[in-house]
Amino acid sequence: MFNNIKNDIRVAMARDPAARNKLEILLTYDGIKALARYRLAHKLYIRGWRLIPRLIMARAKHITGIDIHPGAIIGKGVFIDHGDGVVIGETAEIGDNVVIYQGVTLGGTGKDVGKRHPTVENNVMISAGAKILGPVTIGANSKIGAGSVVLKSVPPDCTVVGVPGRVVRMFGQKFDTNQNEKSPDPILDEIKRICNRLNSVEDSIGITGCKYSIAEDSDYIEDPLDSSKL
């Protein structure tokens, strides 16, 4: 256990440019405190204990603001930076050398049973506020952008951003697929429906000529009675 704490401190020194010395990290870094308690709780959990590990992690959550279920599997070299609001579910699996920032959730969708939390492979960075939900896999060396919501598995060496999360880079190159097409616009769809209705009404009462329409890439309706076009 002490070796794990020493390794966590070493990783924090390497990952955090604000880190000044090992004693400061040990005494003030919530991620170090939460992981130390998690490892003790996890050892008890895999031996069949249930209540005591949960009590240990409940106390850790109260102290650090980091909520880790003792059943989660966390590898070596994991660095939780700041950490407030981090949630890691029971069946989550985290590989080695993963960086997790504040507000990250590795949670479930409520629709799955058994394995219901994410698997994060080695060398992944999960930025602040990102939510990864369900039994998805985040491939090695990937980066999840701040505030992203990831509901599908991500291949290795990718960068994911947005809600829902979409791959924008793969192996360092811009990744351009149909997933990056313009998102549906319900307001635009409703305006189109109204234009079609107006055209139908005018046809029914015998008004002919130009029709109401809206251009796909425009913010205005083409009005056949617009005097500026006369």
- What is the residue-wise DSSP string for the chain? -HHHHHHHHHHHHHH-TT---HHHHHHH-HHHHHHHHHHHHHHHHHTT--HHHHHHHHHHHHHHS-EE-TT-EE-TT-EE-S-TT-EE-TT-EE-SS-EE-TT-EEE--SS--SS-S-EE-TT-EE-TT-EEESS-EE-TT-EE-TT-EE-S-B-SSEEEETTTTEEEEETTEE--SGGGSPPP-HHHHHHHHHHHHHHHHHHHTT--S---EE-TT-SSEE-TT-GGG-
For residue 203, pLDDT beyond 90: no
pLDDT for the residue numbered 102: 93
Residue 206: pLDDT band with limits 50, 70, 90:
confident
- C-alpha distances in Å from residue 26, one per residue of 1, 29, 156: 14, 6, 32
pLDDT for the residue numbered 171: 84
Per-residue model confidence as pLDDT tens digits over 18-32:
888 889 899 999 999
For residue 42, pLDDT beyond 50: yes
Per-residue model confidence as pLDDT tens digits over 132-190:
999 999 999 999 999 999 999 999 999 999 888 889 888 877 766 555 455 556 777 78
For residue 50, pLDDT beyond 80: yes
For residue 6, pLDDT beyond 90: no
What is the number of other CB atoms lying within 10 angstroms of the CB of residue 28?
10
- What is the spatial distance between Cα 92 and Cα 88, in angstroms, rounded to a whole number? 6
- What is the spatial distance between Cα 168 and Cα 154, in angstroms, rounded to a whole number? 11
For residue 228, pLDDT beyond 50: no
pLDDT for the residue numbered 172: 76
Domain ranges for the chain, please list them.
2-180, 186-229
Residue 212: pLDDT band with limits 50, 70, 90:
low
Per-residue model confidence as pLDDT tens digits over 82-119:
889 999 999 999 999 999 999 999 999 988 888 999 99
* Of the options 1.10.8.60, 3.20.20.70, 2.160.10.10, 3.60.20.10, the CATH number for the domain spanning 2-180: 2.160.10.10
